[in-house]
C-alpha cells in the first residue's frame, strides 16, 4: 500500500511552521522551510528559497519565491512535492516505503534512497543523478528516460523494471538484479555491471561503451546484436554470448593470461579481477580500481598506473619496469619478487606492503609512504627515497647503495649486518636486530 502524504511528512519529521505565531517576520529569509498560515503575518520583503508554502496570504508586497512549492491546502500536496522538498531539506528516505508512488519528473538528485521500497513506482524522467539507491527495491518500477548518471544501484532489485532510454552513465549496478529488465536504448557508458543479473534482460540498442560486464549473469539476454560495444569489459562467460560480428578490439576480455597490451582501461572497476600472467604492457590504467586483484606474474612494463587503487592486490613477480605508479595506493599489496626497477612511485602509498626481494633499482620513491613495509632483501641501488616515510619498515638485507635517503623518515626501521648503504647517522635512528627471519613476512 502506497504511503500517504501525511504519513510521509511524519516519517520525514516535517512539521509546518505557523507563521502567525512568529514575531518579526517582515523582510525575513526562509530557506528549506515548511510554512503555513500566512494571512496574519507581515511577509512584505520576505525571500522564500526552496520552501513549501501552504495556504493563502503569501503573496505580499516585494515577497520573492525561488524554487518553492506553493499549494492552497495541505491535501493538495503530493508525494512528489514532499519527496522533492525532503531531498532539498537533506532528509533521508532510507528504508522508506514509496511503493507505487508517482514521482514522474521528480528532482531527487543525490537523494538517500538506500533500502527504500520503490516497487512499481513511477519515476519516468526523474532526476536521480548521484542518488544512493543501494539495495533499493525498484521491481517493476517505471524508469523510462530517468536520469541516473553516477547513481549507486549496488545490489538494487530491478526485476522487470522499465529502463528504456534511461541514462545510467557511470552508474554502479554491481550485483544488481535486472532479470527481465527493459534496458532498450539505455545509456550504460562506463556503468559497472559486475556480477549483475542480466538474465532475460533486453539490451536492444543499449550503449555499452566502456561498461564493465565482468561475471554478469547473461542467460537468455536479448538485444546484444544491436547494442553498442566499444572498450567494453567482459569476462569469458559474457564473451560466449556476444554476437559474432562484435569486433575483437571492441571488447576487453578480463581473464588469466589475457593480452591487453596498450589498452585504455582508465577509471575501470576491476576489483578481484584475475589477470594472472596477463600482458598489460604500456596499458593506460590511470585511476583503475584493482582492489584484491590477482596480477601475479603480469607484465605491466611501462603501464600508466597513476592514482590506481591496488590495495591488497597480488603482484608477486609482476613486471613493472618503468611503470608510472605516481600517487598509486598499494597498501598491504603483495609485491614479493616484483620488478619495479626504474618505476615511478612518487608519493605512492605502500604502507605494510610486502616488497621482499623486489627489484627497485633506480626507482623513484620520493615522498612514498612505506611505514611498516617489508623491504627484506630489496635491491634499492640508486633508488630515490628522498622524503620517503620508512617508519617501522623492515630493511634487513636491503641494498641501499647509492640510494638517496635525504629527509627520509627511518624512525624505528629495522636493519641488520647485511643491510648496505646506510650511514652511521641513519643507523642511529633505526633499530638494529640480530634476529634472522623471526617472521617469514610472506603474503
**In this structure, is residue 84 part of a structural domain?**
no
CATH number of the CATH domain containing 385 = 2.160.20.80
Cα angle for residues 83, 84, 89 (degrees, 5° grid) = 95
**In this structure, is residue 203 part of a structural domain?**
yes
CA 49 to chain centre: 32
Task: Look at residues 253, 271, 294 and tell me which one is the last residue of a structural domain.
Answer: 253
What residues does 394 pair with on adjacent strands?
Answer: 374, 414
| Same domain assignment for residues 248 and 277 | no
What residues does 317 pair with on adjacent strands?
Answer: none
**In this structure, is residue 81 part of a structural domain?**
no
Give pLDDT tens digits along the chain (443 positions): 678 999 999 989 899 999 999 988 999 999 999 999 998 899 999 999 999 999 999 989 889 999 999 999 989 999 999 999 999 888 899 999 999 999 999 999 999 999 999 999 999 999 999 999 999 999 999 999 999 999 999 999 999 999 999 999 999 999 999 999 999 999 999 999 999 999 999 999 999 999 999 999 999 999 999 999 999 999 988 998 998 888 778 899 999 999 999 998 988 889 999 999 999 999 999 999 999 999 999 999 999 999 999 999 999 999 999 999 999 999 999 999 999 999 999 999 999 999 999 999 999 999 999 999 999 999 999 999 999 999 999 999 999 999 999 999 999 999 998 899 988 888 888 898 755 444 444 44
pLDDT at 435: 53
| Same domain assignment for residues 274 and 327 | yes
Quote the CA–CA distance of 323 and 380 in Å, as a whole number: 16
CA 243 to chain centre: 30
Query: Phi-psi category of 194—alpha, beta or left, where left has phi over 0 and alpha has psi -120 to 50?
Result: beta
| Same domain assignment for residues 439 and 408 | yes
pLDDT at 428: 86
Quote the CA–CA distance of 189 and 207 in Å, as a whole number: 6
Range of the domain at 351: 256-443
pLDDT at 124: 97
| Same domain assignment for residues 54 and 160 | no
- Domain count within the chain: 3
Cell of 242: 556476444
| Same domain assignment for residues 273 and 183 | no
Quote the CA–CA distance of 399 and 102 in Å, as a whole number: 68
Quote the CA–CA distance of 397 and 376 in Å, as a whole number: 6
pLDDT at 434: 58
| Same domain assignment for residues 127 and 272 | no
- Which is it for strands 29-31 and 47-49: parallel, antiparallel or unpaired? parallel
Quote the CA–CA distance of 118 and 3 in Å, as a whole number: 11
| Same domain assignment for residues 101 and 46 | no
**In this structure, is residue 85 part of a structural domain?**
no
| Same domain assignment for residues 187 and 270 | no
**In this structure, is residue 107 part of a structural domain?**
yes
**In this structure, is residue 86 part of a structural domain?**
no
Cell of 228: 553498442
Amino acid at each position: 500500500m502506497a504511503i500517504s502524504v501525511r504519513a510521509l511528512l511524519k516519517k520525514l519529521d516535517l512539521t509546518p511552521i505557523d507563521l502567525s505565531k512568529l514575531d518579526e517576520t517582515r523582510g525575513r529569509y526562509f530557506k528549506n522551510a515548511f510554512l503555513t498560515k500566512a494571512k496574519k503575518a507581515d511577509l512584505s520583503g520576505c525571500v522564500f528559497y526552496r520552501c513549501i508554502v501552504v495556504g493563502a496570504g503569501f503573496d505580499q508586497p516585494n515577497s520573492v519565491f525561488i524554487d518553492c512549492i506553493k499549494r492552497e491546502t495541505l491535501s493538495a500536496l503530493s508525494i512528489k512535492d514532499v519527496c522533492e522538498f525532503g531531498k532539498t531539506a537533506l532528509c533521508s528516505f532510507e528504508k522508506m516505503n514509496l511503493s507505487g508512488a508517482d514521482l514522474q519528473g521528480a528532482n531527487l538528485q543525490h537523494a538517500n534512497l538506500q533500502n527504500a521500497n520503490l516497487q512499481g513506482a513511477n519515476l519516468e524522467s526523474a532526476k536521480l543523478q548521484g542518488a544512493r539507491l543501494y539495495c533499493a527495491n525498484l521491481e517493476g518500477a517505471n524508469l523510462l528516460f530517468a536520469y541516473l548518471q553516477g547513481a549507486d544501484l549496488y545490489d538494487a532489485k530491478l526485476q522487470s523494471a522499465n529502463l528504456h532510454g534511461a541514462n545510467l552513465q557511470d552508474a554502479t549496478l554491481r550485483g544488481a538484479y535486472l532479470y527481465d529488465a527493459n534496458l532498450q536504448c539505455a545509456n550504460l557508458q562506463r556503468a559497472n555491471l559486475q556480477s549483475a543479473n542480466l538474465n532475460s534482460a533486453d539490451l536492444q540498442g543499449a550503449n555499452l561503451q566502456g561498461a564493465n560486464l565482468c561475471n554478469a549473469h547473461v542467460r537468455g539476454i536479448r538485444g546484444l546484436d544491436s547494442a553498442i560495444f566499444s572498450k567494453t569489459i567482459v569476462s569469458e562467460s559474457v564473451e560466449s554470448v556476444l554476437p559474432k560480428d562484435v569486433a575483437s578490439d571492441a571488447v576487453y576480455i578480463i581473464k588469466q593470461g589475457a593480452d591487453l597490451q596498450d589498452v585504455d582501461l582508465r577509471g575501470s572497476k576491476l576489483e578481484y579481477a584475475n589477470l594472472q600472467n596477463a600482458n598489460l604492457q604500456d596499458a593506460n590504467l590511470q585511476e583503475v580500481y584493482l582492489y584484491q586483484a590477482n596480477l601475479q606474474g603480469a607484465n605491466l612494463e611501462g603501464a600508466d598506473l597513476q592514482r590506481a587503487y591496488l590495495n591488497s592486490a597480488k603482484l608477486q613477480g609482476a613486471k613493472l619496469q618503468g611503470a608510472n605508479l605516481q600517487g598509486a595506493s598499494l597498501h598491504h599489496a603483495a609485491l614479493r619478487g616484483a620488478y619495479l626497477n626504474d618505476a615511478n612511485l612518487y608519493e605512492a602509498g605502500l604502507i605494510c606492503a610486502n616488497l621482499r626481494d623486489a627489484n627497485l633499482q633506480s626507482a623513484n620513491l620520493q615522498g612514498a609512504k612505506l611505514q611498516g613495509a617489508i623491504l627484506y632483501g630489496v635491491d634499492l641501488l640508486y633508488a630515490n627515497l628522498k622524503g620517503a616515510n620508512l617508519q617501522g619498515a623492515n630493511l634487513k638485507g636491503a641494498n641501499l647503495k647509492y640510494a638517496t635517503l635525504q629527509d627520509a623518515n627511518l624512525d624505528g626501521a629495522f636493519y641488520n649486518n647485511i643491510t648496505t648503504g646506510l650511514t652511521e647517522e641513519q643507523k642511529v635512528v633505526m633499530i638494529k636486530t640480530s634476529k634472522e627471519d623471526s617472521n617469514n613476512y610472506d603474503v
